[in-house]
Amino acid sequence: MYPDDLLYTKDHEWIKVEGPEGLVGITEFAQHQLGDIIYVELPKVGTKLGLHQTIGVVESVKSVSDIYSPVSGEVVAANDELAQSPDLVNKDPHGKGWVARLRLQDKKELEGLMSAADYEKFLQGLEG
């Protein structure tokens, strides 16, 4: 269910590493828990983030939730399509619903993230 080319956090964010950069978004589980997404607050390009700092906010009909950066880095792009179509997060959370692209500061931080298999086991623990 969860793509193998992504790494995951316990806060339900994902990162897809592409060389010195990574795409960041929220997981299928997170968007399902939130319900229909009506607004996504995007980070500004150039923003420097530490590990687990707030990268943005996602608002749904049910609640508002922070999106945390899975690694330290600098925002090099934000998904401006989400301003017009925040529901892309619901429709394609691991693809077109990405939130930001970061230039990675320390690739060693990736070692603290979960593989798809580990994330799925983590989710099973939440449901039990």
Nearest 5°: the CA angle 80, 85, 90 is: 110
pLDDT reading at 96 higher than 90: yes
Domain that holds residue 22: 8-109
Backbone angles phi, psi at 44, to 5 degrees: -85, 140
Q: How far is CA 47 from CA 43, 69, 76, in A?
A: 7, 12, 8
Q: How far is CA 100 from CA 37, 62, 74, 78, 111, in A?
A: 17, 23, 10, 4, 20
> With pLDDT > 90 as the criterion, what percentage of the chain qualifies?
96
Three-state DSSP class for 63?
Answer: coil
Q: How far apart are CA 122 and CA 74, in angstroms?
A: 28
pLDDT reading at 43 higher than 90: yes
Mean pLDDT of the chain: 96
pLDDT in tens, 8-36: 999 999 999 999 999 999 999 999 999 99
pLDDT reading at 128 higher than 80: no
| pLDDT for res 127 | 74
Asked if the structure places residue 125 within a domain, the reply is: no
Asked if the structure places residue 97 within a domain, the reply is: yes
Q: What is the CATH number of the domain that holds 87?
A: 2.40.50.100
Three-state DSSP class for 24?
Answer: strand
Asked if the structure places residue 72 within a domain, the reply is: yes
Based on the structure, what is the number of domains in the chain?
Answer: 1
Asked if the structure places residue 115 within a domain, the reply is: no
> With pLDDT > 70 as the criterion, what percentage of the chain qualifies?
99
Asked if the structure places residue 43 within a domain, the reply is: yes
